[in-house]
Amino acid sequence: MPELTFGEKLLIARKQLDLYQYEMAERLGVHPNSLTKYERGEGKPHAAVVRMFDLLCEQQGIRFDEYRTEDKSKGAAMKIVLAEKVSPATLAVFAGEPGWEIRTHDQLPEGLPAALAEADALVVRSAVQVDDALLEHAPKLRVIGRAGVGVDNIDAEAATRRGIVVMNTPGANAVAVAELTIGLMIALARKVPAANATMHAGKWDKKNLQGTELRAKTLGILGLGRVGLEVAKRARGFGMEIVGTDPFVSASFARENEIALVPIEELFAKSDYLTLHVGLTPQTHGIINAKTIATMKKGVRIVNCARGELVCDADLAAALKSGKVAGAALDVFTVEPPKDSPYHGLDNVILSPHIAGSTAEAQEAVGIQIAHQVCEYLKLGVVQNAVNVPSLSREEYVQLAPYIDLAGRLGSFLAQAGKGGGKSGIDAIHIVYGGALTEAKTDLVRNAAIAGLLQGSENVNRINAAAVAAERGIRVHEQKEESHRGGAATVLTLVLHTAQGDSRASATVIHGEQPRLLAFDGIDVEAPLEGALVVCRNLDVPGVIGRIGTILGQQGVNIANFALGRERGAAAPGKPVKPVNALAVVQVDEPVAESALEALKVIEALLEARLVKLPDGK
């Protein structure tokens, strides 16, 4: 009877111990990438790793006998529908499973809905729309695999209701994007497009094509996720000095990758080349604009292979024309394909039609990766890169849902209002569960809190948040204790540790669905965690509250809720002492313009005013 491979044993052990890949890698003392290879049957583990694994299994009482008793030559019968064209290597992964029926996109004579009637798995790219109507035809479907990152074409909520896991393949095209980024930097430095164009025009214009070297130049990387790190790795080979900004990366993690972590203002001021690798959030939308460009070096070169909406096109075009920006290379656009682009006719900008991830290797890699993930889920129940399904029963999920939502809101609040204001690297996150949460399965609550704190980071969701935090070198500590906050029986507390200091916030759910802030940085205050909030820190002196209300009114801002609190130990009547710190959380009907926040700064006792944007209430 066939023996299980080391990789198969790893998958089984992780399932039994409920460990993420990075957690198992830590226990075995290997890099997570090595663990991925072992689980896929690639490479032979060192004898020391095997001994560590055997010891772990012995300590935890993990046995593999029940798996060995099965005749693997027969396998469990599965039906896989590949709704879009995949590479031969992807098909080979599925075809290698004994007893599995594989239907490719050109083998669906009665159409996709009919093919899904008996299907266990569906694999798509970006063309097929997997909506609730299609899923009605798939009563046995267990998993949907998306060969790529985006899942816009999949109704994940409908899949969740039907108990179907939705997986994607983040990071599989990181190398492809990084290589194009470096290639575009070289093309800008050496004027390659102009050289090519003049040669095709029959000109030998050598004297006007003198370029510059990348060596000894400063490369600024905005966003240190998978792509940003791959860019840094390659840029080091050119002798570039690398600085980076990412509020969701710890300083120690940046040092390990030989990147100087700097504030975003310093990144803009220092960079000879600036490359963008962040996701699209309210904080990053239009981050390259006239104001930020003005802080950059004259002659900076900008590369964008991330999202078109990160750039204010009119402002960048004006800077290219004036010479403030020497050159730009853009692979992504706000509207694709772009219409009436302000870049047309500018000879110092390189334009490409969103091809950064379009390499044969990357497309094959995402296909092979999703094939392995789907196979491992169907065979062993191991979930990787899922974007929807929690490991909870329906009843447990219903009970926890308000606190999962609360955790995301509290994390987002702390990221925006806490010390660093989303601009300082996160070193650690401390989560304290109180009341009913002490007896609950809190993985999704934890992940929702982390996802809220990392809301500006790329591809972070409630399923992968803990793994992303680990990748970024962010330590996550969890603690369960009984609540002692009077009527609030179930309280969630988050503590954020950053280079700028620590921030702490506590919250609860009232009336079964309404999220409420209970305390922020040592000050008790009850405020709704929804919509637009103006968070003001001030000295507790007369007149501040009135002036805040007056100024917001003058700015046309309507106040929906005004919550107040102050530090304990405030002055008793008739006994003046040094003013303590106070807090105002002002919920407003409309988002507040930057000019309104600036207007508040005239209040002498006001220490700080920040705008926090949270989802609206249900």
Catalytic residues, by residue number, are 307, 336, 354
For 407, which DSSP code?
A: H
Instruction: Please name the amino acid found at residue 591.
Output: P
Give one DSSP letter per residue of 40-84, joined into a string. TT-S---HHHHHHHHHHHHHHT---HHHHTS-TTT----EEEE-S
Specify the DSSP element, H or E, that contains 142.
Answer: none
Cross-strand pairs, 504: 495
Token couple for 9: 């044993």
User: For residues 105, 107, 108 and 109, what is the CA-based torsion angle, rounded to 10 degrees?
Assistant: 140
Q: Do the Cβ atoms of 440 and 400 come closer than 8 Å?
A: yes
User: Whole-angstrom Cα distance, residue 496 to residue 130?
Assistant: 38
Long-range contacts of 144-150 (CB under 8 A, 24+ apart): 145/121, 145/370, 145/371, 145/373, 145/374, 146/370, 147/84, 147/86, 147/90, 147/123, 147/366, 147/367, 147/369, 147/370, 148/172, 148/173, 148/366, 149/173, 149/459, 150/126
- Angle between helices 6-17 and 360-380 in degrees, nearest 10: 60
User: Whole-angstrom Cα distance, residue 170 to residue 137?
Assistant: 28
Token couple for 416: 């925006």
* Number of Cβ within a 10 Å radius of residue 101: 14
Token couple for 286: 């239009």
Q: Is the four-CA dihedral 147, 149, 153, 159 of positive or negative sign?
A: positive
Residue 610, class by beta-carbon neighbours within 10 Å (0-12 exposed, 13-18 middle, 19+ buried)?
middle
Q: Please, where are the H alpha helices in 145-259?
A: 156-161, 174-189, 192-200, 226-236, 251-256
Q: Is the four-CA dihedral 324, 327, 332, 334 of positive or negative sign?
A: positive
Backbone phi and psi for residue 147, each to the nearest 5 degrees, phi listed first: -80, 80
